[in-house]
Amino acid sequence: MRHCLNPACRQPNPDGHQFCQKCGKPLLLRGRYWAKAVIGQGGFGRTFLAVDEDKPSKPFCVIKQFSPQDPATFTKALELFDQEAQQLEILGQHPQIPELFAHFVEHDQSYLVQEFINGITLTKELADHGVFSEQQIRALLTDLLNILEFVHSKNVIHRDIKPDNIIRRQADQKLVLVDFGAAKVLQQVQRTVTGTQIGSAEYCAPEQGMGKARFNSDLYSLGVTCLHLLTQVSPFDLYAVHDGEWVWRDYLNGNRVSNELGKILDRLVEGASKKRYQSTAEVLADLQPVQKQSSQNVQTYHYEIITLNERGGIAQRQKGQNQGYLENTKGLNLEMVRIPEGEFMMGSPHNEAGRSDDEGPSHRVIVPEFAMSRTAITQAQWQIVAQLPQVVRSLSADPAYFKGKNNPVEQVSWKDSIEFCLRLSEATGKLYRLPSEAEWEYACRAGTTTPFHFGPTLSPQVANYDGNYTYGQGKKGEYRKKTIPVGSLNAPNPWGLHEMHGNVWEWCLDDWHGSYQGAPKDGRAWIDSGNYSQNNKDWLKRLLNNKSTSSKLLRGGAWYPNPKHCRSAYRDSYPRDDGNLDIGFRVVAPRTP
């Protein structure tokens, strides 16, 4: 359906029409954008989900149409509308702020076209799932403070931070800050912005309510947002006016908040601006105390997230971002990314094509935070670690069949990969190990529920497998018949992990079991010799010497299988003493630094 953008008409029209059937006005803006559905309406105009016909993938975008209902507010409304376009042009290069595509006047109407963020607001998330935990609030603060640090560095104050203006992006579960219509530039010589009161009263800092917003007015609004998400109670009710103090702790109803986080929130919502946090850096310092790291450098990874349609074509490209660190001991250049704490349904649904009985029953698993290598371990990385002192067993210096320093190492057994982890742990003083099967699938899915993190099917354009086979309605494609350099397809999942589908099978810690009956639900590896203390080197050594189970878990598919064997839920086994030219591994660290 194509909606007419003429405010006096607003007629829906069948797809494919170029002109409105009722008023005859063109349905395409600038000959390329057309409105598909109304997704918002207010006093200043309407917002549409739209399609960009100029791009081959016909991606969604957002059209904002300026059409105020109250003539008395026209001048101020137009100022705010144009101001939003200006702010997005300044700020839209940040991966967690919508990008501005166009701002123009056509048919005597002002329009703004921007990036479409596919996700849900925190208001809806709160309604659907209930109050946020401390861990969720900490993650939210980290995400939003880093966005605000960028916004404030451009001398911009958002002035309307609230749950409605924060969207959790479906592709990577990152938070995106939207609606910069209230934002204002703060001149370098000014300490405050004096002007019309703008913002939502429940979340508005006292000084902003008087038209004198400061940078830390945004921090106040962010703090109030956190209090609302922790309690699901209106901020008006969380503040005792007669006592002049916040009473949010009285409304927690058993939701635990540590003293450390409580102090941070109290300072964020301090009414006196001078007593409040003055910058995002101050909050982050209290939220995440800096740890001394000899060999690890904190990194922010930027990348593009690709979604495929049912035919295997690229349906959408979105900006992605994740944080992690670089483990560079001995020049290893091992990129690790943060995998956030969360829960997911492990296994495949009954109706998933290619499903086997060992992929069920589907069950909910809670996974603690950890870090995972962005790619499978490469031959160059293997050769560095193979030269380190032996811990339990010897290692071949160059075991791979398909040679290439940036290709994944293969022909390594499960025992070889454990020895690799032990040597790396000894060299760095930090525990590295194989992922549990639950950690592997959770990291692969990255918040998705489709057979592949790309969507309903797979394409050789984004993964290395036997392209002679198809999955669902996908098309046939290239069959490379060998491994390829890690990251070379430039198609990571929403958390920044490359080649989770195809290239090489990857070892997991777990013993093989024919179903999930009796499987752990806390993210631990399922090992028959005991699931205790899995996060220490001594346990890894004992596990390496334990010969009670011969078969170990493989995940991810490889360069030769058909796509159904590369699904997120697919699992296989192999003798732990053997290697093959299609089996490699990646490592995890139980906690990010």
DSSP lists the bridge partners of residue 283 as none
Per the listing, tokens 């059409």 go with 67
Report the 10 Å Cβ neighbour count for 299. 15
Residue carrying the six token digits 């631990």 = 524
The amino acid at residue 194 is: T
Instruction: Write the DSSP symbol of residue 459.
Output: -
Helix H or strand E encompassing 237: helix 235-238
Torsion of CA 159, 135, 501, 419, to 10 degrees: 140
* Cβ contact 365:516 at 8 Å: no
The maximal CA–CA distance of the chain, rounded, in angstroms, is 81
Distances in whole angstroms, Cα of residue 15 to Cα of each of 22, 38, 55, 459: 15, 15, 17, 28
- Based on C-alpha coordinates, what's the Rg of the chain? 26
| Residue of 58, 16, 67 lying closest to 38 (CA atoms) | 67
Mark 182-204 as b/e (b = at least 16 C-beta within 10 Å). Answer: bbbebeeeeebbeeeebbbebbb
What dihedral do alpha carbons 195, 199, 202, 206 form, nearest 10°? -30
Pairing, β 45-52 against β 60-66: antiparallel
Catalytically annotated residue among 52, 82, 128, 160? 160
CB 440 within 8 A of CB 555: yes
What is the rounded distance in angstroms from the CA atom of residue 275 to the CA atom of residue 282? 12
- Burial class from Cβ neighbours inside 10 Å (0-12, 13-18, 19+) for residue 266 reads middle
Q: Residue 349 has what DSSP assignment?
A: -
The stretches of 407-520 forming alpha helices (DSSP H) are 414-428, 437-445
Active site residue 82: no
Residues 6+ apart with CB under 8 A from 483: 402, 404, 407, 408, 410, 464, 503, 504, 559, 582
Alpha-carbon distance values, 104 to 30, 50, 225 (Å): 9, 16, 33
Collapse the DSSP code of 27 into the 3-class scheme (helix H, G, I; strand E, B; otherwise coil) and give the result: coil
452, 493 in Cβ contact below 8 A?
no
Indicate which residues carry an active-site annotation: 160
